[in-house]
Structure 1
């Protein structure tokens, strides 16, 4: 991966963006994309990067990845300054205790830890019980509610205090790959399209959407705004090459073996075929999965926006989803960009995506 792209990925992941509090990450996205696309932001906080194509009767193509991540929100502070919180998105209470966190408020970042009773003081039966999220608390090192309120306030968002680290080979780990990986791919597609020698025969709208983790909200409104003929959602998906995941659930999916192309009711068959044929023609590795239902992604709401959209998914294999240590392969990100750019150059007529 080129140095500037990797730096952008690092900055995007470092920026806090729990659902409803995405703007630090969206500012990073806007700054990166502004040199090669026309930028706008809507009242929800969705960011749009537009590149006009050439020719007449151009299809509108929308590419979307969501910028929001899971996290927490302060709900209550007790008399001793301990902070109680609720989950933003699907947080597993198994993994939150004992973690370092950052509270993001008007005073900047306030570090803290999610406390845990020492195992020595626990009854044997309690050692096998998960502490419910509403019983967990953050310790920021103060001695009273007054001290806590001078630093943070109810409603402030909280993230795990984790950023990008490299593992072996091209594998990296971070919080927030779900789905800043998607926003990254959207930005890189816009950059590469802007560098093509000839204009695409489509009008391209790259969207970094918001509030996906709490109900596909930004995907719904941005799809309505763009009103695309064709839509590609970039998401992450469960890798099944770790020891404790059943391949019967999601098929055989490995990190480093290319992006995933799902099939199912949410996917336009002609657009799926175009992506698969493009991958074969360009020697881009891809993997295939089946999703026999509506997907829990922005592709779901994009497909049924207004009069309907020819929709597909390009997914990045990801281990340990919704944990602070999500793992993916940089080559899968790069191959997703290659696949989408090559597919966009092949789109000429929206009519071919209408079933017959």
Structure 2
């Protein structure tokens, strides 16, 4: 992985992007990919779309959502404590005792989120699962007026956005879901253009950093409406099973560092999946297989159903501890995913037929 690509990933993890508040990370994406793309635009929904290749070739859409779960300021009490509702799917237990950031018009306001100490809990409170309304954000304000000088209702909130290196090329932090997938589709365009050389890509590649996936796959749906792709590949995280308490017979044998996870199932075009596996094997890219027997809970779902139908693939990045402050992924995995996507784009030609049985 090139140093500038690694730096781009680290900056992405440190950039806030709760669903509906993705402008800062889309600006980061634009700054990184603009020198390599033929065209970069942001649509009315907030999706960033970077294009390269033959505008008359088959339209390939690579979709990786940039939004992360977060919170939204909804009330400030008279003592200056801040209350917030969730954006996306939170386990409230993950929030107790966390360092947080409120992203205001004037910049970041540090906060902590907690509840009353265990010493003060009664027997019933100690046994029950804590609910969100029993927690609050403390910014250190003396009263509501002081808090309101910086914080407004509707300001987004995230966990403390830090990436920590672990052993064996693993890294941990919030927002790996799905800034990893976002990074791969943006980086894939740069690499695909390099692979194509002076001849250029035969396909018309659209690398899309989609928005609002965490609240209903909204960005991918509208982006596909504007692009009308022939082929689409969604990139998201999937649960790794190489840690305690995860049952492989239910989740599959998915390992960090094992390479891209290529899905098969009714939401997936069989020829797209087969092409991805063939390219991985031909180019010595390690990969893992996974199955899903229903509509996927990610951008692949809406891609497949767009218009008269899109030949859809799903490539996933193994992720431990999803939707927490300590999500863990392998840098090697995202590097391999970006390379596999670039190879797919470079190989796509006008006469490719992804019709099942065709």
2:343 aligned with 1:353:
no
Query: What is residue 154 of structure 1 aligned with on the other side?
Result: 153
State the TM-score, normalized to the length of structure 2. Answer: 0.96
Q: Matched residues in 1 for 2:274 and 2:114: separation?
A: 51
Query: What is residue 8 of structure 1 aligned with on the other side?
Result: 8
User: Post-superposition shift, 1:144?
Assistant: 1.1
Query: What is residue 342 of structure 2 aligned with on the other side?
Result: 341
Q: Matched residues in 1 for 2:31 and 2:345: separation?
A: 24
User: Post-superposition shift, 1:351?
Assistant: 5.2
User: Post-superposition shift, 1:350?
Assistant: 5.7
**SS of alignment partner, residue 64 of structure 2:** strand
For the Cα contact (< 8 Å) 2:254–2:288, is it kept in 1?
yes
User: Post-superposition shift, 1:3?
Assistant: 1.3
Q: Matched residues in 2 for 1:219 and 1:295: separation?
A: 13
Query: What is residue 252 of structure 2 aligned with on the other side?
Result: 251
For the Cα contact (< 8 Å) 1:231–1:311, is it kept in 2?
yes
Q: Matched residues in 2 for 1:326 and 1:39: separation?
A: 30
2:37 aligned with 1:30:
no
For the Cα contact (< 8 Å) 2:115–2:134, is it kept in 1?
no
User: Post-superposition shift, 1:203?
Assistant: 0.6
Query: What is residue 176 of structure 1 aligned with on the other side?
Result: 175
Query: What is residue 316 of structure 2 aligned with on the other side?
Result: 315
For the Cα contact (< 8 Å) 1:229–1:350, is it kept in 2?
no
Q: Matched residues in 1 for 2:69 and 2:249: separation?
A: 26
Query: What is residue 301 of structure 2 aligned with on the other side?
Result: 300
Q: Matched residues in 2 for 1:261 and 1:322: separation?
A: 22
Query: What is residue 137 of structure 1 aligned with on the other side?
Result: 136
For the Cα contact (< 8 Å) 1:85–1:136, is it kept in 2?
no
State the TM-score, normalized to the length of structure 1. Answer: 0.97
For the Cα contact (< 8 Å) 2:192–2:343, is it kept in 1?
no
Q: Matched residues in 1 for 2:313 and 2:215: separation?
A: 21
Q: Please, which moves more after superposition, 340-349 or 170-179?
A: 340-349
Aligned residue runs from structure 1 range 1-356, under 5 A: 1-37=1-37, 38-53=39-54, 58-196=57-195, 197=197, 198-349=199-350, 352-356=353-357
Give the paired residue count: 354
Deviations 1:263-293 (A, max 9, x none): 1111000111111111111111110111000
Deviations 1:56-87 (A, max 9, x none): x5111000100000010011111111111111
**SS of alignment partner, residue 264 of structure 2:** strand
Structure 1, unaligned runs of 5 or more: none
User: Post-superposition shift, 1:231?
Assistant: 0.4
For the Cα contact (< 8 Å) 1:259–1:287, is it kept in 2?
yes
**SS of alignment partner, residue 347 of structure 2:** coil
Q: Matched residues in 1 for 2:106 and 2:344: separation?
A: 46
User: Post-superposition shift, 1:122?
Assistant: 1.1
Q: Matched residues in 1 for 2:111 and 2:128: separation?
A: 24
**SS of alignment partner, residue 115 of structure 2:** coil
Q: Matched residues in 1 for 2:13 and 2:96: separation?
A: 22
For the Cα contact (< 8 Å) 1:231–1:302, is it kept in 2?
yes
Q: Please, which moves more after superposition, 34-43 or 191-200?
A: 191-200
Deviations 1:115-154 (A, max 9, x none): 2211111123322322211221101001211111111011
Deviations 1:78-112 (A, max 9, x none): 11111111110011101101101000011211101
For the Cα contact (< 8 Å) 2:79–2:144, is it kept in 1?
yes
CA RMSD of superposed structures (Å): 1.2
Q: Matched residues in 1 for 2:279 and 2:220: separation?
A: 26
**SS of alignment partner, residue 279 of structure 2:** helix
In the TM superposition, structure 1's runs of 4+ consecutive aligned residues that sit over 6 Å from their partners are none
